[in-house]
Amino acid sequence: MAAIRTTCPYCGVGCGVAATVTGEREVTIKGDAAHPANGGRLCSKGTNLGETVRLTGRLLHPMIGDRRAGWDEALDLVARRFAETIAEHGPESVAFYGSGQLLTEDYYAFNKLMKGYIGAANIDTNSRLCMASAVAAHIRAFGEDAVPASYDDLDEADLIVLVGSNTAWCHPIVWQRIEAARAARGTKLVVIDPRRTETAEGADLHLPLRPGSDVALFTGLLAHLHAIDALDQTFLSDHVAVPTGFWDRLSDDPAATARLCDVTQADLSAFYTLFAATPRTVTLFSMGVNQSVQGTDKANAIINCHLATGRIGKPGAAPFSLTGQPNAMGGREVGGLANTLAAHMDFSAPNVDRVARFWGSDRVADRPGLKAVDMFRAVAEGRIKAIWIAGTNPAVSMPDAGRVRAALAKCPFVVVSDVIADTDTTRFAHIRLPAAAWSEKNGTVTNSERRISRQRPFFPLPGEARPDWWIVAEVARRMGHGAAFAWETPAAIFREHAALTAFENGGQRKLDLSDWADLSDADYDALEPVRWGGARLFADGRFPTADGRARLLEIVQSPLDRHNGILNTGRYRDQWHTMTRTGLSPRLSQHRREPLLEIHPEDALANGLREGDLARVTTPQGTSLFRVAVTDAQRRHEYFVPMHWTDRMSSGGRTGLLTDDAVDPVSGQPGFKLTAATVEKVATDWRGFLLCRDDIALPPDCLWATRITVPAGTLYELAGNGDPAALEACLPAGDRIQAEDRAQGTRRIGVIADGRLAAALLVTRTGILPQRDWLIAQLAQADVVPNVLAGRAPGAAVDRGAIVCLCFDVGVRTIVAAIAEQGLSDVAAIGKALGAGTNCGSCRPALAKLIAETEMLDAAE
Ligand SMILES: Nc1nc2c(c(=O)[nH]1)N[C@H]1C(S)=C(S)[C@@H](COP(=O)(O)OP(=O)(O)OC[C@H]3O[C@@H](n4cnc5c(=O)[nH]c(N)nc54)[C@H](O)[C@@H]3O)O[C@H]1N2
Ligand SMILES: Nc1nc2c(c(=O)[nH]1)N[C@H]1C(S)=C(S)[C@@H](COP(=O)(O)OP(=O)(O)OC[C@H]3O[C@@H](n4cnc5c(=O)[nH]c(N)nc54)[C@H](O)[C@@H]3O)O[C@H]1N2
Ligand code: SF4
Ligand SMILES: [Mo]
């Protein structure tokens, strides 16, 4: 069968994927060599998409409570309850909460129903948690939410600055492009992040700044550029509006800035000097900038430096906001946030009038609706009485998620459209609607560089799953708006969206898709990835403001509170958000098996914590346990935890319960990266692990139980107090073999069913447990090895250690040994010797780090 060309459903890089169906829900995934975003490359997440497309855990039928219902019944009920609520309490008593993982067509349908026909603007999405500050900053500086740059600019830059972005993990194919530019033209790389991430590890300069101090850093840079006369005066006078007296209010004081940002003055000056000297500079930023209570100011402080040096709209020179989700950008284009109306238009009277005429509706919303955090507050306070959540898991991903859960529990009517039956959010749903998933759904997404690509289906819709746009249109029809939602295909919706962007545009808005407004269905199906606005916007120096000028903004660093401990949160390389899909992949689950608390060695010492201990993190919002990982990549008094783990996956690692829900006053985006926190050791009597072929619920009576998917089964890491014997009740039926070491309090139990290993439980009070890999492999074996409970192959001395390269299955010990024995001195040499790092490339930063560490050890000897 021929490969279907589609787009990766994970990050905003928007890589093209070639999918070849090889059987029932079986597919081979390759990079699409013809896609300009990736030229055939895929990172670890994209490469392993095939492991996530089976029907495990899928929601396949509409459900009313726990009862399976037909589509008609479910849709009628949703329409009736929304209509009744609106009739009784007004249009603002209902809300939609969507996602940057919806397709543009889905997004358009949700937005049109809420803003065009329900007549309120209470539709917001998880992009509020992600991009809202970048959106607000673009609008403040350029007059429109338009990303000036493209990936081409990375190839042409001489300096790339990454601010608050762990690009190597979160935008890996952009990272590979940055690496390529460094190799090809010696592009310099500066990383600005409080943590020494794998992204920062190999940079020319890393500024481990004090969290939240980016505004001071970039305002200091602007003052310095002004002081040394490094501004582009011509660009400023022709194209930028500068407030009177602006420059007089800036003072160039690198020493003070370095103190405030807590970086050395030498490093700060090195950055300032490099920036001043390099016209071709691209500054990429993501969540370390956006997810801050001063996020919009941070983004504008960066943009200021680019405007003042004329570094925008030119090859290799631009501020560049990286988008997180695959269609964060498409959602912004549609206008699916509560503070935008549609197609890059706000709620000004002429815009409302224009959109009303285009949609043919007399009740278009005329003012912004509630932003995510306020929306869930309104649910809690009973002002919103019906909510429809689609493509997002707010019970995990919202800040202060405990409060969001309480709100949902009280809400009279909760509808959730999802692809997975049981998530932390679907637990609160009165109605669950089964959506089409990636591999089935059909439409378009827009990536970080404004490139619109097709997501194409290659499997038929399973069970009764339906596309999100279809579900919305059916509800709209039942609410009496059939004529406006009569689309037969996603192509029809795309044409309507494109036509709206072009409608009475007259060059006022950069977003103008008129070239695609008449696309035939066949042309839509065959649509090649296309970038609207071309490679770069604003090349003529004209901006979509009333006077055609961009704006320099007066920005002042907000005071930073002194906390004894700061919790920072973010992502792991191989997990995607709340793990509903990446959690199904055994390969991806190997990179980090448990949610870790990363902590500086001195803080660990001060709190009596050692590697592998359990620690309790407490914030004003809540508390949760994490496994301790001691690392000097953290600054003192700052802790990092991942956002991914859920109630479905773990008893701990519940980061969403901890974060503060304070928001940026301009954008309404929460400051996920900075919450006051304390840590303490949690002693346990025993630890262990449980491996089983069949899925079982989280074992009870454990302080710590985290699950991951492994080939042929599930692995639980466990710890607790009291008698671990209670765990034996979890074991499946079968013949048991046992071994015991009373001195160390170690118990090993194997269960054999049908002549194969069905489960293994290994628990110890003071002893050492074997590495998991060999036992995991035994689950898939047809025969049981005689001494299986030893946990390693008969005669085998050492195992290969934690897997570093997923593609070639190479462990850390194998790599370290090869570096030492064969004198391997770079990543390419490791690739030659072991294959590691030569496919998806996601482990290349980790390999580079291993070489550096081995060299350091050598030097120390
Ligand atoms: N593997 C993987 N990739 C993903 C995702 C995923 O879930 N997993 N999700 C996608 C999505 S939706 C998004 S939004 C992106 C996010 O991509 P990134 O923004 O790269 O990821 P994060 O880990 O959230 O945060 C980035 C960095 O911000 C730093 N930071 C914290 N506080 C500050 C500060 O005050 N200043 C500065 N300068 N930095 C700070 C953190 O230490 C962290 O390393 O990733 C996308 N790609
Ligand atoms: N502490 C902390 N919290 C954070 C962040 C952080 O850095 N730290 N980052 C924030 C950011 S940037 C983001 S983007 C959010 C992400 O957070 P969420 O959006 O909550 O995370 P996902 O796990 O991607 O949720 C997507 C849901 O949609 C379902 N789904 C997948 N495909 C489809 C589809 O086609 N249709 C429908 N209807 N459903 C589908 C999935 O099964 C899943 O339940 O988290 C935010 N929360
Ligand atoms: S970088 Fe990786 S996760 Fe992002 S779109 Fe490309 S393959 Fe997918
Ligand atoms: Mo995001």
Instruction: Give 725-747 pLDDT, tens digit per residue.
Output: 888 888 999 999 999 999 999 99
Positive/negative CA dihedral, 313, 315, 321, 324: positive
Nearest ligand to residue 161 Cα: 1
Is the CB of 633 inside a 6 Å radius of any atom of ligand 1?
no
Between CA 51 and CA 35 the distance in angstroms is 22
Between CA 307 and CA 302 the distance in angstroms is 9
Would you say residue 386 has pLDDT above 80? Answer: yes
Report residue 815 as tokens: 């790599």
Place of tokens 């607790």: 720
Predicted local confidence at residue 788, as pLDDT: 86
What DSSP line would sit under 795-816, residue for residue?
A: T------SEEETTTTEEHHHHH
Arithmetic mean of pLDDT, 706-725: 93
Nearest ligand to residue 42 Cα: 3
Cα 734 to Cα 234, 737, 788, 819: the distances in Å are 81, 10, 15, 45
Q: What share of the chain is helix, strand, coil (3-state, %, to 5)?
A: 35, 20, 45
Amino acid at 590: Q
Is the CB of 371 inside a 6 Å radius of any atom of ligand 1?
no
User: Which residue lies with its CA nearest to atom 12 of ligand 2?
Assistant: 130
Arithmetic mean of pLDDT, 469-483: 98
Torsion of CA 844, 847, 849, 850, to 10 degrees: 180
- Check: CB of residue 829 under 8 Å from CB of residue 844: no
Which ligand 3 atom is nearest residue 447's CA?
A: 5
- Check: CB of residue 594 under 8 Å from CB of residue 717: yes
Q: How far is the CA of 290 from the centre of ligand 4 (A)?
A: 10
Is the CB of 441 inside a 6 Å radius of any atom of ligand 2?
yes
Between CA 646 and CA 667 the distance in angstroms is 27
Closest CA to 204 of 151, 253, 158: 158
Q: Which residues of 738-751 are buried (b: 16+ CB within 10 A; e: fewer)?
A: eeeeeeeebbbbbb
Amino acid at 615: A
Between CA 789 and CA 763 the distance in angstroms is 12
Between CA 198 and CA 743 the distance in angstroms is 42
Burial class (CB in 10 A: 0-12, 13-18, 19+), 518: exposed
Test site for ligand 3: of 49, 166, 169, 173, most ligand atoms within 8 A of the Cβ? 173
User: Which residue lies with its CA nearest to atom 47 of ligand 1?
Assistant: 170
Arithmetic mean of pLDDT, 576-584: 94
Closest CA to 163 of 12, 264, 274, 283: 283
In the chain the first and final C-alpha atoms are separated, in Å, by: 57
Predicted local confidence at residue 414, as pLDDT: 98
Predicted local confidence at residue 443, as pLDDT: 98
Beta bridge partners of 432: 63, 416
Closest CA to 32 of 586, 498, 451: 451
Between CA 12 and CA 27 the distance in angstroms is 23
316-368 pLDDT per residue, tens: 999 999 999 999 999 999 999 999 999 999 999 999 999 999 999 999 999 99
Cα 300 to Cα 187, 284, 376, 566, 835: the distances in Å are 24, 13, 28, 25, 44
Test site for ligand 1: of 45, 571, 649, most ligand atoms within 8 A of the Cβ? 571
Which ligand 3 atom is nearest residue 326's CA?
A: 5
Predicted local confidence at residue 747, as pLDDT: 94
Which ligand 1 atom is nearest residue 572's CA?
A: 1
Between CA 208 and CA 640 the distance in angstroms is 14
Instruction: Indicate the pLDDT class of residue 792, thresholds 50, 70 and 90.
Output: confident
Would you say residue 151 has pLDDT above 60? Answer: yes
Nearest ligand to residue 672 Cα: 2
Would you say residue 458 has pLDDT above 90? Answer: yes
Q: How far is the CA of 653 from the centre of ligand 2 (A)?
A: 16
Which ligand 3 atom is nearest residue 7's CA?
A: 5
Test site for ligand 1: of 213, 286, 600, 641, most ligand atoms within 8 A of the Cβ? 286
**Which range among 192-196, 260-264, 589-593 shows the weakest confidence by mean pLDDT?**
589-593
User: Which residue lies with its CA nearest to atom 31 of ligand 1?
Assistant: 288
Which ligand 1 atom is nearest residue 325's CA?
A: 12
Would you say residue 452 has pLDDT above 70? Answer: yes
Q: How far is the CA of 287 from the centre of ligand 1 (A)?
A: 5
Report residue 531 as tokens: 């970038």
Between CA 149 and CA 303 the distance in angstroms is 12
Mean pLDDT of the chain: 95
Closest CA to 436 of 415, 420, 416: 420
Residues contacting ligand 3 via CB (< 6 Å): 8, 10-11, 13-15, 38, 42-43, 45-46, 171-173
Predicted local confidence at residue 858, as pLDDT: 66
User: Which residue lies with its CA nearest to atom 26 of ligand 1?
Assistant: 165
Amino acid at 325: Q
- CB half-sphere exposure, 678, CA atoms < 13 A: 7
- Check: CB of residue 14 under 8 Å from CB of residue 43: no
Q: How far is the CA of 379 from the centre of ligand 2 (A)?
A: 20
- Check: CB of residue 737 under 8 Å from CB of residue 756: no
Query: Among residues of the chain, what percentage have pLDDT more than 90?
Result: 89
Closest CA to 674 of 571, 567, 596, 570: 567
Is the CB of 648 inside a 6 Å radius of any atom of ligand 2?
no
Phi, psi values for residue 462, rounded to 5°: -85, 155
Between CA 156 and CA 181 the distance in angstroms is 8
- Check: CB of residue 414 under 8 Å from CB of residue 429: yes
**13: helix, strand or coil:** coil
Q: How far is the CA of 453 from the centre of ligand 4 (A)?
A: 19
Which ligand 2 atom is nearest residue 396's CA?
A: 20
For residue 582, count other CB atoms closer than 10 A to its CB: 25
162-186 pLDDT per residue, tens: 999 999 999 999 999 999 999 999 9
Closest CA to 268 of 279, 257, 276, 278: 257
Is the CB of 106 inside a 6 Å radius of any atom of ligand 2?
no
Q: How far is the CA of 748 from the centre of ligand 1 (A)?
A: 40
Which ligand 3 atom is nearest residue 842's CA?
A: 2
Q: How far is the CA of 741 from the centre of ligand 1 (A)?
A: 45
Between CA 287 and CA 270 the distance in angstroms is 24
**Rounded to 5 degrees, what angle do the CA atoms 182, 186, 190 make?**
65
550-573 pLDDT per residue, tens: 999 999 999 999 899 999 999 999
Instruction: Indicate the pLDDT class of residue 1, thresholds 50, 70 and 90.
Output: confident
Phi, psi values for residue 710, rounded to 5°: -125, 165
Is the CB of 99 inside a 6 Å radius of any atom of ligand 2?
yes
Arithmetic mean of pLDDT, 574-599: 94
Between CA 235 and CA 561 the distance in angstroms is 38
**Which range among 11-15, 137-141, 533-537 shows the weakest confidence by mean pLDDT?**
533-537
Between CA 571 and CA 551 the distance in angstroms is 33
Report residue 349 as tokens: 């009277």
Between CA 291 and CA 832 the distance in angstroms is 40
Test site for ligand 3: of 5, 6, 7, 13, most ligand atoms within 8 A of the Cβ? 13
**856: helix, strand or coil:** helix
Would you say residue 397 has pLDDT above 70? Answer: yes
Predicted local confidence at residue 797, as pLDDT: 54
Is the CB of 433 inside a 6 Å radius of any atom of ligand 2?
no
Query: Among residues of the chain, what percentage have pLDDT more than 70?
Result: 99
Arithmetic mean of pLDDT, 597-611: 97
Between CA 520 and CA 498 the distance in angstroms is 13
Would you say residue 799 has pLDDT above 70? Answer: no
Instruction: Indicate the pLDDT class of residue 789, thresholds 50, 70 and 90.
Output: confident
For residue 838, count other CB atoms closer than 10 A to its CB: 17
Between CA 688 and CA 686 the distance in angstroms is 7
Complete domains list, the chain, with CATH: 4-52 (3.30.200.210), 63-129+328-435+465-531 (3.40.50.740), 132-321 (3.40.228.10), 566-583+591-682 (2.40.40.20), 686-790 (no CATH), 803-860 (1.10.10.1100)
210-256 pLDDT per residue, tens: 999 999 999 999 999 999 999 999 999 999 999 999 999 999 999 99
User: Which residue lies with its CA nearest to atom 30 of ligand 1?
Assistant: 288
User: Which residue lies with its CA nearest to atom 43 of ligand 2?
Assistant: 392
Closest CA to 653 of 699, 720, 571, 594: 594
Would you say residue 103 has pLDDT above 70? Answer: yes
Report residue 576 as tokens: 């995607």
- Check: CB of residue 435 under 8 Å from CB of residue 422: no
Would you say residue 859 has pLDDT above 70? Answer: no
For the chain, give the longest Cα–Cα distance. 83
Q: Which helix (H) or strand (E) holds 139?
A: helix 132-142
Between CA 463 and CA 128 the distance in angstroms is 32
Predicted local confidence at residue 477, as pLDDT: 98
| Helix spans in 208-248 (H) | 214-227, 233-239
Q: How far is the CA of 468 from the centre of ligand 2 (A)?
A: 16
Q: How far is the CA of 574 from the centre of ligand 3 (A)?
A: 11
- CB half-sphere exposure, 591, CA atoms < 13 A: 22
Would you say residue 719 has pLDDT above 60? Answer: yes
Test site for ligand 3: of 7, 15, 325, most ligand atoms within 8 A of the Cβ? 15
| pTM of the entire predicted model | 0.96
**185: helix, strand or coil:** helix
User: Which residue lies with its CA nearest to atom 45 of ligand 2?
Assistant: 397
Between CA 336 and CA 125 the distance in angstroms is 7
Is the CB of 262 inside a 6 Å radius of any atom of ligand 1?
no
Predicted local confidence at residue 796, as pLDDT: 64
Predicted local confidence at residue 786, as pLDDT: 79
CA 287 remoteness from chain centre: 9
